[in-house]
Structure 1
Amino acid sequence: MAASRMRRWLVPLAFGVTLLKCLLIPAYHSTDFEVHRNWLAITYSLPVSQWYYEVISEWTLDYPPFFAWFEYLLSLIAQFFDKEMLVVQNLNYASNATVLFQRLSVITMDIVFIYGVIECCKNINRTKESKEILEKPDFILAVLLLWNFGLLIIDHIHFQYNGFLFGLLLLSIARMFQGRHLESALLFAVLMNFKHIFLYVAPAYGIYLLRSYCFTGNKQDGSIQWRSFSCSRLFALGFLVCSVFVASFGPFIAMGQLPQVLARLFPFKRGLCHAYWAPNFWAMYNVVDKVLSVIDVKLQLLDPAKISKASMTGGLVQEVPACCPSPLCHHWQRWSAHCSQ
């Protein structure tokens, strides 16, 4: 009965936001549009052994293997829209058919996001049944998720596939609430092999699953009953997660390409600010770094020619040369040298 009532307002919500996404098809798109077009071309035109070595475009493939295979599956459909988009040498190619296909691919994959929202809404406990729809917590949650303005901008204007990825995350969280821990772990392992930035959530997942799944009993006060630890459950959990990673990286390990794949996934020479956003810390780091660079130039502590210019949020894939440290690193080196004297 509750499910049928939820469908009354969930279907219009999902349909309305999908219609809005369709209206945004001709909207502006960022460099990420070309990134994903290039990945379509790489996975379609080149053998698997060259996916993580291709350097014709500056937008090299730097997502985990599952996402590469995802792009390959999309490319099999993309060829019926405009095969020219699948030519690696066609840099910055954006025909009307290409734009239409890539926009529709994001909208279609948002079905996973919608399903994740539905499953999460099912797990909300209602203390009382209200006739006012604005007082229904599952309705409020669905609106906040489905009509998330930031997600609309990032995915359907800027161009990304975060809705699809967040759908996997929401589905994994829903399975946790439903007590289906192995399925939750499986979904999260798959998610990490689509986009490795979700690694920052892995410690929380590991601790929760260890506490809720591997320990089978609690004391009366709710604390852990240490003797209830199940080695078989830990083995099952570890085997499931490891199997996903083997399926993802196995072919590249067999080809001896694991170091190359990892170098693409964790490009430390680009700088942490480019690929691994920790906004509260790196925003302060960038401010201090910029202030020190101005002070150094004014006081002639650094040669202005040795200070590389960069846009912190430009998104351009660049490597920082070791001979041009940032002002903050320069001051750290001077301070370390002073302390060692």
Structure 2
Amino acid sequence: MTTNTTYDVTIIGGGPAGLFAAFYSGLRGLKTKIIEFQPYLGGKVHVYPEKMVWDVGGVPPLSGAKLIDQMVEQGLTFDPTIVLNTKVTSVTQDEQKIFHLHTNEGAIHATKTVIIAIGGGILQPQRLELEHITHFEQTNLHYLMKPLAYFKNKDILISGGGHSAMDWAAELEPIVNKIYLTYRGDTFKGHETVIKHLLSSKKVTSFFETNITKFIPSDSGDTIEQVELTELHTNKKHQLALDDVIVHHGYIRDTSLLQYSPLPITLHDDYFIAGSPSSESSVEGIYAAGDILHHEGKLHLIAGAYQDAANAVNMAKKYIDPEASRQAMVSSHNDELKQRNKAIIKEMMGRGV
């Protein structure tokens, strides 16, 4: 089923690059849609909601969660159409040069231009391979971090020994009652000072060369009450009573979109879009922004994603309307924002600011 409306710009991905592209596309008067695989906007920043982000230009340090809120608010300024829980599986183009974005639901989204802003690809947490545990994901089994306050004074288990698992443990150590760390390897990976602190903390008990082999549920069966760990070499078992389990075994990257699209999109290292500093791909009308874009001098920061997004929108505008300016538009030149500015100034004067 093809959607009835053909959009000027459709953005695949609702992270930092996609959200700023949506804002800037609206700024330039383009009819815009975002299609996002996850049930929420914000992208990979959801992996570290409690961490402080310092390197967004002109913005004082703020938590990842707050940054998400502000990015979403800005991205929705011009009311783009938002499609969540939807995976774009391939991109085709018809004889009229209209692109068709095919999705896992069978819907086809028509658009004049495409901005691909999928970061490192759709990231799915590596889940535990134990039977009959998915219902615990609704209660006390976590693959993404919840707000720190949720874990206050709790006994928790963290499975994983990489940088992210260690960072989570370090963030939680001051506020929880107890942390158990379980890892298949014989040493943790991460920053030396973080690991040294965790290994010396009286709140932390570490189990190396162990696996989670069983969850023992509560009487209701809804939550995990105990976890069984098994030593890899001796088969010795440990049973731990706890409140919550956090699993960080890395992510599975889904790279099917670019692999299965028949259009000749040139890739770098078999994954990244080989583009230009102006965010162009090898296919006219398709652009890239954020970590998915590769070119010499590419800046892998959120600030770099914003520049990519603005470049991509400016190129899309020029592609749709060859008479349009390729140069960036500043917000003070947008008629709709001028009206909003008047309302904001009026409100501030009324409050005596």
Interval of TM-score (by shorter of Structure 1 and Structure 2):
under 0.3
TM-score of the aligned structures, taking structure 1 as reference length: 0.24
Q: Would you tell me which structure has more strand in proportion to its own residues?
A: 2
TM-score of the aligned structures, taking structure 2 as reference length: 0.23
Q: Would you tell me which structure has more helix in proportion to its own residues?
A: 1
